[in-house]
Amino acid sequence: MSRFSGQTALVTGSSGMGLATALRLAREGARVHLCGIDDALNAKARDAAGDLSITVTKVDLTRDSEVESWVAEAARPHGLDHLVNAAGIQTYGDLSTTTIPDWDRVMSVNLRAFFVASHFAWPHLKAKGKGAIVHISSVQGFANQRNVLGYATTKGAVHAMTRAMAVDCAPHGVRVVSISPGSIRTPLLDFGAAQIAGEGGDPEEVLAMFGRGHPVGRIGTPEEVASLIAWLLSDEAAFVTGTDLRIDGGLTAQLGV
């Protein structure tokens, strides 16, 4: 497959859905620039990339100058065709237990960084007059679990930001879409499962419980999310913009009682 031959894509987040997306796009011919803040995860991403055209760079997405430099370096040879904002963090807490530093941190990574990366990528995308931006949101932008106030707020905001960006970018040939995964087997979900299991518990049983909450009876994989993102970035989705696509195994289609 070579849907992205000759194209350059930026992907934030060097594990989970970000890494799976980078691998998928590179296998279909794209030059991929992947960034992450964790040295160990970046090293694993480089190993996973092998001979594929994936450049992995350490970038702190909360530092605007680092994001600007990363985007400029990636765009220098061939311009930019696509951006996938996949990086994210999870914080826990309700109105009384969410600390202000935690609130600021999750807003910075899960929302502000999406804007900042898009802001710096925009002149290069506009110059091409085509391409797409995909933001990874969450089903928690629609309905929420308890104790995730900050995280859920960012995901709902990503939906609104997607619509606003899409309306502004459409006259220049650039599409903007968000996707909302349900439970996907990523390091972030593994960490959450371990937290719920607690000392002596079985995180795998927690993950199985998550899966049983989806009508399809299981959690999803990063590769399944990457397949959707690849389609959205391709010309096959040329009429898709300003919307959110749920990839949640039917989770938000069912009633809780």
pLDDT in tens, 133-165: 999 999 999 999 899 999 999 999 999 999 999
**Total tally of structural domains belonging to the chain:** 1
In a domain, 206, yes or no: no
In a domain, 189, yes or no: no
SS3 sequence of 190-236 = HHHHHHHHCCCCCHHHHHHHHHHCCCCCCCECHHHHHHHHHHHHCHH
CATH number, residue 90: 3.40.50.720
CA distance 168 to 135: 16
pLDDT of residue 257: 80
In a domain, 129, yes or no: yes
Q: Is 2 exposed, middle or buried (0-12, 13-18, 19+ CB in 10 A)?
A: exposed
CA separation, residue 156 to residues 111, 159, 166, 192 (Å): 10, 5, 16, 20
CA distance 255 to 44: 39
In a domain, 224, yes or no: yes
Q: Provide CB contacts within 8 A for 79, sequence distance 6+.
A: 8, 124, 127, 128
Mean pLDDT, residues 190-201 taken together: 77
In a domain, 254, yes or no: no
Percentage of the chain lying above the pLDDT 70 cut: 100
pLDDT of residue 1: 64
In a domain, 46, yes or no: yes
Catalytically active residues, by annotation: 151
What pTM does this model have?
A: 0.95
Bigger pLDDT: 248 or 205? Answer: 248
Bigger pLDDT: 226 or 209? Answer: 226
Which H helix or E strand runs over 245? strand 244-247
Amino acid identity for residue 181 in this structure: P
Domain that holds residue 225: 8-184+220-248
